[in-house]
């Protein structure tokens, strides 16, 4: 019972860490436990905590909890972890194999760091042009996005969580103002809008609304507030 619930919670925890909906986390935990022979499963999750219990058919019982201290949006990892849960439920793969895949997938990245940074630069450049900026505005915004992306990857005690967003937004705003004042860019509003687009948590906000529509009001409000 302990191993089955621990395996299910490993997947549930990393789903929650990477931006999955609370309803998906609870459903995944229950399906995995039932696939490994549980007679009864109870699970409860909010954005920072998962509590679950399982009773096996032989009477074994286990209760465990996970405190999720931080979360981010990474749909690649969510998809990989979903694939493991599908394999467990459909193919009945052994727990040892499932745990090996969990360890491999929970740190996986779809693209190298350099490609992710380059993607942010091109996205910001495109949004700046889309909102009416000129080519120089787009280039300035792209360079600012490059600087902000590199700063966000510096591992410092104060460069984490919500404070990191404040730091990145301040840097983006200050550099946008400087680029216009020195005459490199022309339209401050377009540069600001373009650079700020990489900081807008669209997926997280959509997930919060989805949670609330599914009746998970506490989780939805917590994620929206975050």
Residue 50 has pLDDT above 90, yes or no: yes
CB 114 within 8 A of CB 146: no
Question: Does position 223 have pLDDT exceeding 90, yes or no?
Answer: no
d(CA 182, CA 87): 57
Q: How confident is the model at residue 200 (pLDDT cuts 50, 70, 90)?
A: confident
Confidence of residue 51 (pLDDT cuts 50, 70, 90): very high
Q: Per mean pLDDT, which range of 22-31, 116-125, 217-226 is the poorest? A: 217-226
Cα(140)–Cα(146) distance, rounded to whole angstroms? 10
pTM of the model: 0.77
Cα separation, 44 vs 42, whole angstroms: 7
- Which three-class secondary structure string do you get for 152-195? HCCCCCCCCHHHHHHHHHHHHHHHHHHHHHCCCCCCHHHHHHHH
Q: What's the rounded Cα separation, in Å, for the pair 160 and 91? A: 39
Q: Do the Cβ atoms of 11 and 100 come closer than 8 Å?
A: no
What are the tokens at 121? 């630069």
Instruction: Using DSSP, state whether 58 is helix, strand or coil.
Output: coil
Is the model more confident about 4 or about 198?
A: 4
Report the pLDDT value the prediction gives residue 161, as an integer from 0 to 100.
67
Q: Are the C-beta atoms of 134 and 187 separated by less than 8 Å? A: yes
Reply yes or no on whether the pLDDT at 104 is more than 90: no
Banded model confidence at residue 62, pLDDT cuts 50, 70, 90: very high
CA 74 to chain centre: 4
pLDDT above 90 coverage of the chain, percent? 49
Give CA–CA dist 141/71, Å, rounded. 27
The conformation of residue 54, written as its DSSP 8-state character, comes to: E
Place of tokens 């840097």: 171
Per-residue confidence (pLDDT) for residue 226, from 0 to 100: 77
Confidence of residue 91 (pLDDT cuts 50, 70, 90): confident
Q: Count the Cβ atoms, other than its own, within 10 Å of residue 96.
A: 9
- Round to whole Å and give the CA distance between 95 and 101: 10
- Tell me: the pLDDT tens digits for 152-173? 877 766 656 678 888 888 999 9
Average pLDDT over residues 33-57: 93
Structure confidence at residue 4 as a pLDDT band (50, 70, 90): very high
Look at residue 177 and tell me whether its pLDDT is greater than 90.
yes
């Amino acid at each position: 019972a302990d191993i089955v619930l621990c395996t299910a919670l490993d997947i549930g925890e990393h789903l929650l860490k990477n931006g999955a909906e609370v309803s998906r986390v609870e459903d995944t935990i229950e399906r995995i436990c039932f696939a490994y022979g549980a007679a009864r499963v109870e699970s409860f999750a909010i954005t920072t905590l998962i509590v679950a219990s399982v009773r096996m058919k032989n009477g074994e019982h286990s209760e465990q909890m996970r405190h999720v201290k931080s979360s981010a949006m990474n749909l690649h990892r969510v998809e990989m972890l979903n694939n493991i849960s599908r394999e467990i439920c459909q193919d009945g793969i052994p727990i040892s194999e499932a745990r090996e895949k969990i360890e491999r997938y929970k740190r996986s990245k779809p693209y190298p760091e350099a490609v992710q940074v380059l993607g942010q630069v091109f996205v910001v450049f495109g949004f700046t042009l889309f909102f009416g900026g000129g080519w120089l505005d787009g280039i300035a915004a792209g360079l600012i996005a490059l600087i902000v992306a590199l700063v966000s990857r510096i591992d410092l005690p104060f460069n984490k969580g919500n404070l990191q967003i404040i730091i990145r937004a301040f840097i983006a705003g200050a550099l946008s103002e400087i680029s216009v004042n020195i005459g490199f860019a022309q339209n401050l509003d377009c540069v600001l809008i373009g650079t700020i687009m990489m900081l807008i948590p669209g997926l997280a906000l959509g997930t919060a609304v989805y949670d609330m529509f599914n009746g998970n009001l506490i989780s939805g409000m917590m994620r929206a507030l975050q």
